Amino acid sequence: MDFTATLLFFALLISTVRALDPCASQPDNSDLSVIPIYGKCSPFNPPKPDSWLNTVINMASKDSARVKYLSSLVAQKTTPVPIASGQQVLNIGNYVVRVKIGTPGQLMFMVLDTSNDVAWVPCSGCTGCSATTFSPNTSSSYGSLDCSLPQCAQVRGLSCPDTGTSACSFNQSYGGDSSFSAYLVQDSLRLANDVIPNYAFGCINTISGGSVPSQGLLGLGRGPMSLLSQSGALYSNVFSYCLPSFKSYYFSGSLKLGQVGQPKTIRTTPLLKNPHRPSLYYVNLTGVSVGRVRVPIAPELLAFNPNSGAGTIIDSGTVVTRFVQPLYEAIRDEFVKHVKGPFSRIGVFETCFDATAEAETPLITLHFEGLSMTLPMENSLLHTSAGSRACLAIAPVPNNVNAAMNVIANLQQQNYRILFDVANSRLGIAREACN
Ligand SMILES: *[C@@H]1O[C@H](CO)[C@@H](O)[C@H](O)[C@H]1NC(C)=O
Ligand SMILES: *[C@@H]1O[C@H](CO)[C@@H](O)[C@H](O)[C@H]1NC(C)=O
Ligand SMILES: *[C@@H]1O[C@H](CO)[C@@H](O)[C@H](O)[C@H]1NC(C)=O
């Protein structure tokens, strides 16, 4: 081989290796990798789980607190949910995206949360944060925001003094068992090739509890402080994501911001806005089928209620779909009619059975106004590591949460493109192999 050929060979080799490396940076566009926290590409580098069921059970064990937290996101200012004593679990959210903050950009892996508005990151000097923090000092585009500014009035848990000027500060609870205090600041936010200048976010200075995402959180909720609102015309109130399979250790999904690259033809259901919980994405769930049987459920148990906040939301931060008790029981009771028992409980899943009976298991269909979503088996069943038991992967809304709210969670959304077309008040759902 002459020199040029050798060079070419190595260039090709490098690009092939890069193409095969699922953790390589994305090309410059608005399509961002959505990295599962337990995946190989996660910067948090958790050990590869030996049992997916145990992993999911472990993740889902935080769901009760999550659902309670979601139900607390009501329009008026709330007092923080009390912090469970001594709990220091590592709960860093389920999916993270790579962003850069400041000038020059500082890399952070932020948790994607469709039910929160504000973004926040741990800042240097923070008490209780992990080692990776954003350093405002080294950013030339950083600015502080004070209590008199209109943005400041938008954050939950404001702790500004009644009089005088001071930095806009707030305290929030997160995940049901943790809280933090932060200052509202602004700086450039870079997502893939897009820069959003003067992005207002919380700069965390104190964390207590173990649930606050260690490199921050990117709020994709509906409120005025969310990414969609602050990016204005850039993303024209549209985004979508595709969450990779829970088991895809090596792969990532994608977040697409803005109109470009969104599916042109996709079935949609109306996106509802609930003034009682204005950050959350409500949809109109009209029923559930198990196999061909539409489970009996009084329509008022599914009804959307703008006063009480009852209804169904779609959320990127809850692991296992939760149904209000009567709906859950109706689904479970129909399911067990089709599958050979005996049934046992594993973690939050009470309908586990011998996996040899799996061939008979009926498909679960979620009926939304205008579209139905028939879940593939991998989105409705989970298996023990040895493969001997399978479990129906849905659960009831925890007893202590008086939310009357169904939560369509991420296990059921894997390998679907979920389009949040806020501009046209609709939610699109389409099968897609994200990985
Ligand atoms: C950052 O700024 C603070 C306050 O202005 C100062 O005390 C600190 O030493 C600075 N840190 C660095 C790393 O420059
Ligand atoms: C916010 O948190 C800080 C420290 O955790 C605490 O000192 C302060 O009292 C809290 N403020 C409010 C308004 O809760
Ligand atoms: C939900 O869909 C049902 C059936 O199409 C409809 O009757 C009901 O009005 C819808 N609810 C809302 C809040 O749009």
Beta-bridge mates of residue 352: 344, 391
* 57 is a domain residue: no
In the set 31, 177, 315, 421, the catalytic residue is: 315
Question: What is the model's pLDDT at position 20?
Answer: 52
CA of 102 to the centre of ligand 2 (A): 27
What pLDDT score was predicted for residue 384? 78
* Calpha distance 23→387 (Å, rounded): 29
CA distance 100 to 95: 17
Q: Using CA of residue 295, residue 241, residue 221, residue 177, what is the dihedral sign?
A: positive
Residue for token digits 């990151």?
121
DSSP assignment of 192-235, as one string? TTEEEEEEEEEEEEEEESS-S-TT-EEE-SSSTTSHHHHHGGGT
Total domains in the fold of the chain = 2
Is residue 219 domain-shared with residue 88, that is, in the same domain?
yes
- Any catalytic annotation for residue 113? yes
- Domain presence at residue 3: no
Cβ-contact 80, 157 below 8 angstroms: yes
Domain assignment of residue 13, yes or no = no
Q: Are residues 43 and 143 in the same domain?
A: yes
Question: Residue 196: its pLDDT value, please?
Answer: 95
How far is it, in rounded angstroms, from Cα 181 to Cα 183? 7
* Beta bridge mates, 134: 123
Same domain for 211 and 281?
no
> Would strands 31-36 and 95-101 be described as parallel, antiparallel, or unpaired?
antiparallel
Q: Which helix (H) or strand (E) holds 191?
A: strand 178-191
DSSP string, 291-328: TTEEPP--GGGT---TTT--EEEE-SS-SSEEE-HHHH
- Where residue 412 falls (left for φ over 0; alpha for ψ -120 to 50; beta otherwise) is alpha
Q: Both 238 and 295 in a single domain?
A: no
Kindly report the backbone phi and psi dihedral angles of residue 328, in degrees, each rounded to the nearest multiple of 5, phi listed first.
-60, -45
Question: What is residue 89's predicted lDDT score, i.e. its pLDDT?
Answer: 31
Q: Is any atom of ligand 2 closer than 6 Å to the C-beta of 181?
A: yes
Q: Enter the tokens of residue 206.
A: 């104190």
Distance 284 CA to ligand 3 centre (A): 6
pLDDT in tens, the chain (435 residues): 455 555 555 544 444 444 455 566 555 455 677 777 666 777 776 666 666 677 777 777 777 777 777 777 766 443 332 222 222 233 445 788 889 999 999 999 888 889 888 899 999 999 988 889 999 999 999 999 999 888 888 887 888 877 767 899 988 887 777 889 999 999 999 998 899 999 999 999 999 887 788 889 999 999 888 999 999 899 999 999 998 886 666 667 889 999 988 998 999 999 999 999 989 999 999 999 999 999 999 998 899 999 989 999 999 888 889 999 999 999 999 999 999 989 999 888 899 999 998 888 999 999 999 999 999 999 999 887 777 889 999 999 887 666 689 999 988 999 999 999 999 999 999 999 886
Select from 233, 257, 281 the last residue of a domain. Answer: 257
Q: Are residues 281 and 402 in the same domain?
A: yes
Domain boundary among 257, 287, 311: 257
Half-sphere exposure (Cβ direction) of 45: Cα atoms closer than 13 Å: 1
Bridge partner list, 25: none
Q: Measuring from atom 10 of ligand 2, which residue has the nearest CA?
A: 171
Residue that terminates a domain, selected from 257, 286, 306 = 257
Written as one letter, the residue type at 271 is L
Reading the block at residue 153, the tokens are: 């009035």
Q: What is the CATH number of the domain that holds 219?
A: 2.40.70.10
In 389-423, which positions are buried (b, 16+ CB within 10 angstroms) versus exposed (e)? Answer: bbbbbbbbbbeebebbbbbbbbbbbbbbbbbbbbe
**Which amino acid belongs to residue 64?**
S
Residues having CB closer than 6 A to ligand 3 are 272, 284, 286, 304, 369
Enter the tokens of residue 251: 């792969």
Ligand 2 touching residue 206 (CB < 6 A): yes
* pLDDT on residue 145: 93
Task: Rounding to the nearest 10 degrees, give the CA dihedral for residues 37, 42, 44, 50.
Answer: 60
Residues 213, 145 within the same domain: yes
The ligand placed nearest to the CA atom of residue 156 is 2
Spatial contact of 56 and 411, defined as CB atoms under 8 Å apart? yes
pLDDT at 288: 97
CB of 424 shorter than 6 A to ligand 2: no
Tokens of 105: 């950009």
28 is catalytic: no
| Strand 344-346 relative to strand 349-354, pairing | antiparallel
Same domain, 134 and 222: yes
Structural domain boundaries, residue 374: 267-431
CA of 158 from ligand 2 middle (Å) equals 10
Distance from the alpha carbon of residue 22 to the mean position of ligand 2, in angstroms: 42
pLDDT at 81: 29
